[in-house]
Amino acid sequence: MLETLDLSLSLAKDAYRDQLEPLQYDLHALQIRALDQRVPIMIVYEGWDAAGKGGNIRRLTERLDPRFYTVYAISKPTAEELAHHYLWRFWTKTPSREQLVIFDRSWYGRVLVERVEGFATTAEWQRAYNEINEFERLLHDDGAVIIKFWLHVSPDEQLHRFNERMADSTKRWKMTDEDWRNREKWPQYEVAVEEMLQRTSDPIPWHLIEANDKRWARIKVLRTVVETLRQRLGATVASDELASKA
């Protein structure tokens, strides 16, 4: 799947500015519609290190009502979380019927980092595909909207961003030894990503995002979220009309 993506896709600054704000207002209007209909929303971000997830999330949430959304940046599990089934810590973060929840990394760590680094046994990560599909199916059948993104960059672009971070004292904190170790295992991670995409796209499909150009990736994600929510919520009136009901 990943080899079919055209990573040369880009968006000029003027085109980006012209599209960004209208889409953000659209999303704010749809957030209001979802609140009115009591539809929970889950947006999942996965992708390579330095693929631009954080900046993408900031543009997505910039004009949302902060009372009704939460962003979870997922890191290694705590001792308490390790004492439970790996999905437990995500169950506790699923949205209420008045919330939009964004996961910056997610339960897919089970079939990515835990698989590649050996934190899960072969039996555990192989079993996880069905567990994840059933987890998402249960939430979907209960009325949740789930939108999943994989942000894809080339190895060369990732290295360029790593070097930029190291050269900038205000961004150097983002880099860890783990980032460099993960980069050395790119082929193993790529195999894991491909299998994840193939085996966890039903019932909730993955949206693959060409992320070598950050502007292109931000607009594509925003547009995908807006279009998905419009279809689900039946939002056929203009965004400014929706917003006036807030």
Over residues 190-222, the pLDDT tens digits come to 999 999 999 999 999 999 999 999 999 999 999
What percentage of the chain carries pLDDT values higher than 70? Answer: 95
Residue 242 domain-assigned (yes or no): no
What is the DSSP-derived secondary structure letter of residue 170? T
Q: pLDDT band for position 240 (50/70/90)?
A: very low
Give the other-Cβ count within 10 Å of 245's Cβ.
Answer: 10
Residue 244 falls inside a structural domain: no
Phi-psi label, residue 235: left if phi above 0, alpha if psi -120 to 50, beta otherwise: beta
Q: Please report, rounded to a whole number, the percentage of residues in the chain having pLDDT higher than 90.
A: 89
Q: Which domain holds residue 61?
A: 2-234
* CATH code of 229's domain: 3.40.50.300
Task: Tell me what pLDDT residue 56 has.
Answer: 99
What pLDDT, on a 0 to 100 scale, did the predictor assign at position 172?
Answer: 87
- 149-182 tens-digit pLDDT: 999 999 999 999 999 999 999 888 888 888 899 9
Q: Taken in order 90, 55, 228, 99, is the CA torsion positive or negative?
A: positive
pLDDT per position as a tens digit, 33-45: 999 999 999 999 9
Produce one character per residue of 186-201: b if its CB has 16 or more CB atoms within 10 Å, e if not: eeebeebbebbbeebe
- Beta-carbon contacts of residue 119 (< 8 Å; ≥ 6 apart): 113
What whole-number distance in Å separates Cα of residue 32 and Cα of residue 185?
A: 43
Dist CA 107 CA 86 (whole Å): 8
Assigned token pair, 163: 């070097």
In a domain, 109, yes or no: yes
Taking only Cα atoms into account, the Rg of the chain, rounded to an integer number of angstroms, comes to 18
pTM of the predicted model as reported, rounded to 2 decimal places: 0.93
Inside any domain, residue 199: yes
Residue 137 lies in a domain: yes
Helical segments of 122-176, H only: 122-141, 155-167
Residue 208 lies in a domain: yes
Please state the domain count of the chain.
1
Tens of pLDDT, residue by residue over 102-150, are: 999 999 999 999 999 999 999 999 999 999 999 999 999 999 999 999 9
Q: Which amino acid is at 3?
A: E
What's the average model confidence in pLDDT over 228-241? 72
d(CA 163, CA 68): 37
pLDDT of residue 235: 64
